[in-house]
Amino acid sequence: MNRILRFAALLLAASPALAQTERAPETATGVARKPPVFAKRFMAVTAHPEATRAAYDVLKSGGSAADAAVAAQLVLGLVEPQSSGLGGGAFLLYWDNKAKRLYAYDGRETAPAVAKPDVFLKDGKPMPFLDAVRSGHSVGVPGAPALLEHLHKRHGKLAWAGLLQPAQRLAEQGFRVTPRLHQLVAGTPTLKLRAETRAYFFGADEAPVAAGTALKNPDYAATLARLAGGTSPFYRGPPAEAIAARVRAEGGTLAAADLAAYKIEEREPLCGLYIGLRVCSMGPPSSGGIAVLQILAILERFPSETVNAEDERAAHLFVEAARLAFADRNLYVADPAFVRVPTKGLVDRDYLAARARLLDIRRAAEKVEAGVPPENKGEFAPGDGAESPGTSHLSIVDGEGNAVSFTTTIENGFGAQMMAGGFLLNNQLTDFSFAPAVDGKPVANRVEPGKRPRSSMAPVMAFDKEGRLLLVVGSPGGARIIAYVARTLTRVLDGGMDIAAAVSAPHVATTGAVAELEQGTDAEALAERLARLGHKVAVRELNSGLHGIQITQDTLIGGADPRREGAAMGD
């Protein structure tokens, strides 16, 4: 059976009867699988049950996917503060089912107007990453609030103020601290170094806030109350002034004028074909969409049964394809307002066919270099901004078939580890290359005033040949997002897995140099065999947060990554 027929059979097999097959989590690969959740009308999958509940309630009240995304993100910023929130940014895809149109919204942070290319150099050398993270220089202008309001104005149905109430209510009454949040606080002792994070995340005895504690956040509730009429106060009022003051107190240069100048960018979705299906994501300044499409196009040139096996051959092919994608990413991708990124050339089918021919199925390449795609007009040096996995993803489909794929972040776990207005501030500017030039050539992703740092975030939607939505998915994970999302796409679209099985499957990943195998899963067994193929191999915890919705003829299937606290709910 060929790839298209196999996927068509999967769609025809899905029906309401599937809801009766739901069962307790099982451990078949070393990762405890959360069972799929089935629905007829709408579905929300987020990284925390409280956020999923908020989205579900909005959808049940007749709200759109955009409305539900606003409510869910505001709750996530409270209950999962280490990953996203008002102090961060995001990339978002919105599918308007009636108009059959896909929108791409860029809510990425921007550098201050006086940012300097050498801001992360000390004595001419890149400073230690964590020193940069915890400095005021790491904080960019938050884009998340503006993105939420822009999304609501374009696609919302319910009143804006009402969408803020679930988060405001939880902030006032208190939310239950989860074991995961407790463990992350305990593992980040530097949160004690600043008064506001010490007071919020630790008790009087300086013990980390205990799991099960009802944690209140009156400052966050007050910030949301200020935003009930819109986000203008965030960018031109007391919140903006508080953010700028907090950053400057830590040596940064962010000013209130930088916040006032912030704007959302509406971009063209970046789409390509994989086994005849249309796969869409974000273009620059995200490298995620380009890299995912490159990996898929390269893998498509190998037999399906080889690509979708769970053995060393499939792992080898996937890692080598990803290494080719990362070589291009590190050289070419940056903010398109500052660098002429050859985006179309990087996803050109003929170019990728030539790249695929570099892949040796019998041996890992000793060195992988960037190619020369069509439309390349620049000459840059490779730069590798250090991305950390302080990120979250949510997927939503509403009762009218509209959908949101929304990857949102404050960059590192707990961001810059400073707070203003009850939320953590991002350290997104450490996603820039610390070295502005190499061997006399500029690095495309160097720091520049007003520039958006490169990202690997890859919110994705996939469509069939008739333009019907098939899949909504994305993940946190820093630069590993690219591998997590690409492998999930091959497993669902080509391998016949349901979304819950796919997000639970063992990870094989790379960020360009090392083949990474997920600790505690069947992937570990591949280590010796991949080493014999010439790979540098590392067995690591690969903590994705994949959240997806698979759309069949008459059923929505939700899958939440068991590695995090996520949950799916539908009706």
In the numeric block, which tokens belong to residue 189? 């002792």
Classify strands 441-442 and 437-438 as parallel, antiparallel or unpaired: antiparallel
Using alpha carbons only, give the angle 54, 56, 59 rounded to the nearest 5 degrees: 110
Is residue 190 among the annotated active site residues?
Answer: no
Asked if 562 and 493 count as a contact pair (C-beta separation under 8 A), the reply is no
253, 343, 391, 488: the catalytic one is 391
CA 424 to chain CA centroid, nearest Å: 18
β partners of residue 548 = 559
Between 3.30.470.30, 3.40.50.300, 3.40.50.11270, 3.60.20.40, what CATH number should domain 3-108+384-413+444-570 receive?
3.60.20.40
b/e for 109-123, b at 16 or more Cβ within 10 A? bbbbeebebebbbee
SS3 state at 446? strand
C-alpha to C-alpha distances, 162 to 159, 216, 273, 343, 486, nearest whole angstrom: 6, 20, 40, 40, 36
Asked if 65 and 96 count as a contact pair (C-beta separation under 8 A), the reply is no
Asked if 254 and 450 count as a contact pair (C-beta separation under 8 A), the reply is no
Amino acid code (one letter) for 556: L
Q: Could you report the per-residue pLDDT of 22-53, keeping only the tens digit for each?
A: 333 333 355 788 999 999 999 999 999 999 99
Burial class (CB in 10 A: 0-12, 13-18, 19+), 145: buried
Q: What is the pLDDT of residue 439?
A: 87
Q: What is the pLDDT of residue 29?
A: 56
Asked if 415 and 426 count as a contact pair (C-beta separation under 8 A), the reply is yes
Encode the chain (571 residues) as per-residue pLDDT tens digits. Answer: 445 444 444 444 433 322 322 333 333 355 788 999 999 999 999 999 999 999 999 999 999 999 999 999 999 999 999 999 999 999 999 999 999 999 999 999 999 999 999 999 999 999 999 999 999 999 999 999 999 999 999 999 999 999 999 999 999 999 999 999 999 999 999 999 999 999 999 999 999 999 999 999 999 999 999 999 999 999 999 999 999 999 999 999 999 999 999 999 999 999 999 999 999 999 999 999 999 999 999 999 999 999 999 999 999 999 999 999 999 999 999 999 999 999 999 999 999 999 999 999 999 999 999 999 998 766 776 776 555 557 999 999 999 999 999 999 999 999 999 999 999 999 999 999 999 999 889 999 999 999 999 999 999 999 999 999 999 999 999 999 999 999 999 999 999 999 999 999 999 999 999 999 999 999 999 999 999 999 999 999 999 999 999 999 899 999 999 999 999 999 9
The DSSP result for 152-208, as a single string, is HHHH--S-HHHHHHHHHHHHHH-EEPPHHHHHHHHT-GGGGGSHHHHHHHB-TT-PB
Q: What is the pLDDT of residue 17?
A: 28
Amino acid code (one letter) for 93: L
Q: What is the pLDDT of residue 376?
A: 79
Asked if 396 and 73 count as a contact pair (C-beta separation under 8 A), the reply is no
Q: Could you report the per-residue pLDDT of 169-228, keeping only the tens digit for each?
A: 999 999 999 999 999 999 999 999 999 999 999 999 999 999 999 999 999 999 999 999
What region, left, alpha or beta, does residue 467 occupy, with left being phi > 0 and alpha being psi -120 to 50 degrees?
left
Q: What is the pLDDT of residue 475?
A: 98
In the numeric block, which tokens belong to residue 559? 């899958």
Q: What is the pLDDT of residue 147?
A: 98
3-state secondary structure 353-411: HHHHCCCCCCCCCCCCCCCCCCCCCCCCECCCCCCCCEEEEEEEECCCCCEEEEEEEEE
pTM: 0.94
